[in-house]
Chain A
Amino acid sequence: MKEIIVAVAGQPNSGKSTIFNMLTGARQHAANYPGVTVEKRTGKYSYKGNTVTLVDLPGTYSLTSYSQEERIARDFLLHEKPAVVLDIVDAANLERNLYLTFQLAEMGTPLVIALNMMDVAENRGLKIDTFKLSELLRANVVATVGKKDKGGKELKEAILNTYKGGHFRMGYGDACESCGACPGISREKGQFRVDYGEKLEPILRPLEKMLSEDPKISARYPARWLAVKLVENDSEARKLIEVL
């Protein structure tokens, strides 16, 4: 039986460790202040005969190479190539959290999004259309309340479904046990892409094409992600291609 490696990413204090503990049954350090997880931590669970290994990454606001946490998270995603990335999003701070989601999506690993702290968001009067979000981000979106153990089973199902390359499940609690029963979106519609507009796209597109045509680079790194990082003048990204 193949082991499924899932990276747990998210912004600081979005509940990564709480969700990690909920899924693995671990009782490790989750405290109500940010920056508790600085090194990556792993745990396992079994679901429908599959062994899933979760790697809890440090919380980062983005994936540049300015801080150690960001480099740990980014290097793991780039070099260890997890099968799925579980992105924990603080639903009450959706706008700020989506910035990291976009960067994760750009790295090309299939995403599962946990809209965590959904109860806090609802108490603030926020209504989030998980259906629409799923469609726009081209990823499974599951509403969760980590603190109250809500949404764990749905997350496990979404992770397995994404790993198997199934269609996107829609929202929380739609009881999709067997794929095909829920109104999912087929993967044929393509991957999520940020449109950087008429000023940047004419620079990004040719660069992306050039990178994807280099066999050494394209075998290792997602071309779109690398093109964006090179335009940002990210020193670590430059080093990645200089050593090839």
Chain B
Amino acid sequence: MTLDEIKPGQECRIVDVNLDGATGQRLMDMGFMPGTKVKIIRNAPLVDPVDLLLRGYHVSIRHHEAKGVEVEQL
């Protein structure tokens, strides 16, 4: 499953990052690596973006970016 399918309050672990170019690089720069635990905090009122917690800090990404991150639910 992919990161955009995880609901607020739930946790998951990253399996793979299937994004190329600048977006994939940026996510990896910010710590989106296989094995990293991610908690979904909340969605913005108009759904995008989604607020995540990983490695002790918050980051907001778009749902279509989250779709490129393969995860397993915990």
Whole-angstrom distance between the alpha carbons of A95 and B55 in the complex? 7
Residue A64 interfacial (CB < 8 Å): yes
Knowing A95-B31, A99-B31 are in contact, say whether A66-B55 is a contact too (CB < 8 A).
no
Residues 12-60 of B at the A interface (beta carbon under 8 Å): 21-22, 25-26, 29-31, 55-57
B22 nearest CB neighbor, chain A only: A66
CA distance A90 to B26 in the complex (A): 18
Contact A62 B29 (CB under 8 A): yes
Q: How far is the CA of A192 from the CA of B31 in the complex (A)?
A: 21
Contacts of B29 in A (CB 8 A): 61-62, 64, 99-100
The answer to whether A66 touches B25, judged by C-beta atoms less than 8 angstroms apart, is: yes
Q: Which residue of A lies closest to B26 (CB)?
A: A61
Across-interface contacts of B55 in A (CB, < 8 A): 93, 95-96
Name the B residues within 8 Å of A124 (CB-CB): 56
Chain A residues with a Cβ under 8 A of chain B: 61-62, 64, 66-67, 92-93, 95-96, 99-100, 124
A sample of 22 cross-chain residue pairs with beta-carbon separation below 8 angstroms, ordered by A number, consists of A61-B26, A61-B30, A62-B25, A62-B29, A66-B22, A66-B25, A66-B26, A67-B22, A92-B56, A92-B57, A93-B55, A93-B56, A95-B31, A95-B55, A96-B30, A96-B31, A96-B55, A96-B57, A99-B29, A99-B31, A100-B29, A124-B56
